[in-house]
Chain A
Amino acid sequence: MTTRELTIKTEPFMLNMGPLHPSTHGVYRMRVTLDGEVVLDIEPIFGYLHRGIEKLMEERTYTGCIPLTDRLDYASAMNNNFAYCVAVEKLAGIKVPERAEYIRVITAELIRIANHCLAVGAMLNDAGALGTPFFYLWRQREKIYDLMEMLCGQRVLHNYTRIGGVSQDIPAEFLPALKKFIPQLHSFINEFEIFLKQNEILIARAKDVGILPKDLAINCGISGPVARASGIKRDLRKDDPYSIYDRFEFDIPTGENGDCYDRYRVRMEEMKQSLRIIEQAVKQVPEGQFKADLPHLIRPPAGDAYGYVEGPKGELGFYIVSDNSIAPYRCHIRSTSFINLTALRQMVRGWKVADLIVIFGSIDITMGEVDR
């Protein structure tokens, strides 16, 4: 008597996800190898949104580069402006007035909240929550953008920070409006936590999914909420305080497992911490100049400088080389999204297609920053 083997032979197949796909956050493209639903391997393909920003910066004056930095991470333009100006100020040795520093911190933290609203909402949308949490968060983001419009006339690409300060002083009605908005946002975040913190399906979809181990995160140079979710307590605002961040009290929320759920949790907690910083900063805003007295065209001395801030997505740095002309000789951008993406392949292998989308969404990238 013979026995027949009853094994079903399956063959892996290739699926092109992107560049036009609802959940690739722009024009990211993954060449996914699938065995049925299981992801065997992915191969990332970049460059669909490459505009050569680093090269363009060499052709513009130092001030003229600021609008270009807006176009990097368009979900948190203010932080890009901030990081670039920090780098140039370091290069040229410019002292920024107190009032300008406070305005910068307030706006940067507001945009951090807006960015996390988008990040969490998009991740939940990828998890299949069909827009509801997305719209709830989007509404708060809109309110922040209304404040930004009041401040600088721009909603998304702010182009507000200038070398040595900000482009214009805050209008009289801005601070009262902000003070009114803070408790609103507080109560919204608490309400949102009630809705989703214990959601069974969200926990099933995100808990223990796409784990990023601590050592892998360090080796890949991952920073920001993704790294903090893996248990790396690192935040440039605390570890190497730039601007005036040493004056504020806030905590660094960290996760334990480094899974998608932790990344979601860390972002929600960070929104609360950002609100804490804004609350303290609003009370202390001093009177004075909003911009240092500088010539229109600055010529930093020959040399190089690396300016960095803790952006919403992680460490965002600008490395600028000057040859004592009105334009940077070379500018390199340490774009957070690009570096955070490097661990994606290790994170998604072995998970299902549906998990791939959620893990990808939980990293929170902006293609403008990845491709530059």
Chain B
Amino acid sequence: MIITEVAAQATPAMQVTPADWPGGYWWHWLFFSVVLIVFMLGMVMGAIYIERRGMGKMQWRRGPNRTGPFGVLQPVADALKVLIKENIVPGVADKVVHWLAPVIAFVPVAMIFAVIPFQNGALLADLNVGILYIVAISSIATVGVFMAGWGSSNKYSLLGAMRNVAAVVSYEIPLVLAIIGVVMFAGSLSMNQIVAEQEIPYILVQPMGFLLFFTAACAEINRSPFDLTEADSELTAGFHTEYSGMKFALFYLVEYAEAIAMSAIITTLFLSGWKGPWLPPWLWFIIKVLIVFFVMVWTRTTLPRVRIDQLMALAWKFLFPLALINLFITAIEIIVWPDASQWIFVIINIAIAAVLVLLWSKRFKTGWGRIEV
């Protein structure tokens, strides 16, 4: 598929609503705004439950099991608890920044969901630059995190916030480069179009892209083993050390909403989104999101945390060159064999990815260790 052709075919319209959609434009916005908020909060609750129970099972303990059947009401109980807790602001904190930080961290994460398709055409805004919009929006959350770290006037918070900024700035690059591979195959930046183009899930066509994206996404949203921003054994709670009550709950919500958003993006880009046999498309979408999230929980329970210089080394020495090579190979494949079956690329790309990752991990050295003081 040649990119120029697709660009010509792409519709300039904002959304792909069915013709018999009642009420038209405003109905669409209202309906999907409500659906998105319900989806986000519901998924976050589910995510918290899966994480706590899943971690419990993996760690040979039970996890929460007292509230409701199998402890399913634990997130509700947690939410109620933080709602009625006292809101403490440190005396020397920058009050405005401290108050504004959770809001600024939360809003962009909520906005990511606007362009994620639940089934064909079922999304708030089918932007023709959907994935670009996500990349642009998702970085704003970092500002909120840094404001939290700076405004708390606490050294632990500041260290955590600095780590977060360093991580996001570095990992944005392999993240975007991994996305470009997918965009080149799909020939579109629209999230809905990317799903529609996937006859084979792109995880097979772009295996390296998937690995790079997953790693970079974990680092970007501070999931373990890259959770240096919070690093509870080092920085007590990192950037939200000084937060309590509902403001803390917002950061907690952001953490899981980001994880769900990243899972949804991975599902859309690499796991063919809502596509799947037998079940309704939206159910497929949710199942895939939860599977991706489960993998994140899995890595969290399995791996120790990396150090900040190792984190940087991984981004610049490992992911960045591999992302460039992956981009180069993908570009050649698309230009030289525009009409070839994607199944050929599946075999070639998996082989290339395996060889490259193996070779690179042999030569790769993390960090620089001790500094003379």
Contact = CB atoms under 8 A, between A and B. Distances in A.
Report whether chain A binds chain B: yes
Interface of A: 13, 15, 21-23, 35-41, 124-132, 135-136, 139, 199, 201-202, 204-205, 208-209, 349-355, 357
Contact of B306 (A23, A125, A201, A208): A201
B307 A205 contact: yes
A357 B60 contact: no
A128 B366 contact: no
B60 A205 contact: no
A203 to B, nearest CB: 10
Chain B residues touching A, range: 35 or more
Interface stretch (B21-29, B230-238, B343-351): B230-238
Contacts, number: 102
Contact of A132 (B58, B305, B367, B369): B58
A204 B163 CA distance: 19
Nearest to A13: B155
A204 B310 CA distance: 8
Given A208-B369, A349-B373, A354 B305 contact: yes
B199 interface: no
A130 B306 CA distance: 12
A13 B156 CA distance: 12
B373 A354 contact: no
Given A132-B302, A204-B307, 5 more contacts: A23-B233, A37-B308, A139-B60, A352-B309, A353-B234
B304 A129 contact: yes
Nearest to A353: B234
Contact of B371 (A41, A202, A350): A350
B370 A22 contact: no
A349 B370 CA distance: 8
Given A15-B155, A126-B233, A354 B307 contact: yes
Nearest to B224: A130
B255 to A, nearest CB: 14
Nearest to B163: A37
A139 B367 CA distance: 35
Nearest to B158: A13
B317 interface: no
B303 A201 contact: yes
Centre residue among A126, A128, A132 by max chain B CB count within 10 A: A128
Contact of B304 (A135, A202, A352): A202
A209 B369 contact: yes
Contacts of B228: 354
Nearest to A208: B369
Contact of B227 (A128, A135, A205, A353): A128
A208 B373 CA distance: 17
Nearest to A38: B371
Nearest to A12: B373
Given A354-B308, A357-B233, A135 B61 contact: yes
Contacts of B65: none
Contact of A201 (B236, B304, B372, B373): B304
A210 to B, nearest CB: 9
B174 interface: no
A136 B55 CA distance: 12
Contacts of A41: 373
Contacts of B310: 204-205
A102 to B, nearest CB: 33
Contacts of B163: 37
B301 A130 contact: yes
Given A38-B371, A128-B227, A132-B59, A199 B234 contact: no
A191 to B, nearest CB: 12
B234 A129 contact: no
B233 A204 contact: no
Nearest to B225: A201
Contacts of B236: 21-22
A30 B155 CA distance: 14
B132 interface: no
B48 interface: no
13 contacts: A22-B236, A23-B234, A36-B162, A41-B373, A128-B306, A129-B303, A135-B59, A135-B60, A201-B303, A201-B305, A349-B373, A352-B308, A354-B234
A208 to B, nearest CB: 6
B280 to A, nearest CB: 36
A199 B310 CA distance: 15
A140 B64 CA distance: 22
Contacts of B371: 38, 350-351
A265 to B, nearest CB: 16
Nearest to A21: B236
Interface in B341-373: 366-367, 369-373
A125 B233 contact: yes
Contacts of B231: 128, 354
Contacts of A202: 304
B159 interface: yes
A138 to B, nearest CB: 9
Given A13-B155, A204-B310, A204-B366, A350 B373 contact: yes
Given A21-B236, A23-B233, A128-B233, A136 B308 contact: no
